[in-house]
Amino acid sequence: MTNRQWAALILNALLIGVVVFSVYPILIMLLGSLKTAEELSANPAGLPFDPTFNNYWRLLNYNGHTIVRAFFNSLYVSTAHTVLTIFISAMAAFAFAKYRFAGKNAIFLALLATMMVPGELSIPPLYIMFSRIGWLNSYAVQIFPGIASVFAMFMLRQYMISIPDALLEAAKMDGAKHWRIFTSIMLPVSAPVIGALSILTFLHKWNDFLWPLIMVNKPKFMPIMVILPTLNEKDSVWSIPWELIMTGCVVVTLPLILVFLRYQDKFMSSVTIGAVKE
C-alpha cells in the first residue's frame, strides 16, 4: 500500500471511531428505554431480552401527564421563539446590509462585541426586571428574551450583502416600498440561510435549561428539559428510575433528530453557499 492509501485508511478508521463514540450513548439510551429496571441494572449495555414499551406509557402518565404538557410547552416556546428571532433579526440584517445611515458600522461592531459577553452575566438583572413587570412563570419570559439575536443578524446580513442592489432598485421602480421589498424579495431570496438559522435556533431553545430553570417554577409553564430531571424526586437515592429517565431522554431527543432530518438539505446548502463563487 502507498503512503496515500495508508493515510486514507487511518483517516477512515478515525472517522469510524468518532461515529461509534458519538452514536454509542444514543444507542444505549434507546435500548435502555426498552428494558425493565431489573434488566437495565443487570444488562445496561446489551440488547433487551424482552423489549417493552411500558416505560413510555409510564412516562406519559407520570404525575398527572406532566411530561405531556411539558413536551408541548417546549414545542410551543421553541417554535414561537424561532419565528420571532428569524423575523426580528432579518429586519435588522436588512437595514445593516442595504441601507446607509450614520454610525452604521460602529453600531454593527458594537453589536458583534456583545457576543463575547457570557449570557449568564445578564441573568441576575433580567430576573429582577422580569419579576418587576410580572413576567416570571409565564411563556413570555421564555419566548421573548433573545429574539434580537446578534448571531442570526450577522449571518443574515452577510448573506443579504451578496444580493444584487439592482434587484432592489428594480423593485423600487415598480413601486415597491421598503416593507414589500423585505417580505417579497429579501426573505424569499435568503431562504437557505433562514432555514439553517431556524434549525439552530430551534435546537438551541429546545435544549435550553438554565434560563427556564431560573425564571419558571410552576409546572404549568415548565419545558420538558426542566421537568425531566425531576423524574426521580419520588424515588430514593438508591432507586433512581434510570429506565424512565432514559425513556424521557429518547422523547426529548427524537424531535431534534426529526427536525434535522427534515431540513438537513437547507442546513447543508447554507453551510456551502459561502464557498461557491460566481
User: What are the residue boundaries of the structural domains of the chain, listed by start?
Assistant: 65-234
Q: Which parts of 33-147 fold into alpha helices (H)?
A: 37-42, 54-60, 66-98, 104-113, 123-133, 140-143
Cα–chain center distance at 9: 35
Looking up cell 468518532 gives: 18
Quick: pLDDT tens for 148-181. Answer: 999 999 999 999 998 898 989 999 998 889 899 9
Look at residue 278 in the predicted model and tell me its pLDDT: 43
Which cell is 196 given? 439553517
Contact 211/226 with Cβ under 8 angstroms? no
Residue 136 has pLDDT above 90, yes or no: yes
Residue 48 has pLDDT above 90, yes or no: no
Q: Using CA atoms, how far apart are residues 244 and 246, in angstroms rounded to an integer? A: 5
pTM recorded for the entire structure: 0.84
Q: Using CA atoms, how far apart are residues 59 and 66, in angstroms rounded to an integer? A: 9
Look at residue 113 in the predicted model and tell me its pLDDT: 93
Cα–chain center distance at 154: 18
Burial class (CB in 10 A: 0-12, 13-18, 19+), 178: middle
Indicate the CATH number for domain 65-234. Answer: 1.10.3720.10
Q: Using CA atoms, how far apart are residues 154 and 160, in angstroms rounded to an integer? A: 10
Q: Which parts of 99-240 fold into alpha helices (H)?
A: 104-113, 123-133, 140-143, 150-161, 165-173, 178-181, 187-189, 191-206, 210-215, 224-227
Average pLDDT, the chain: 87
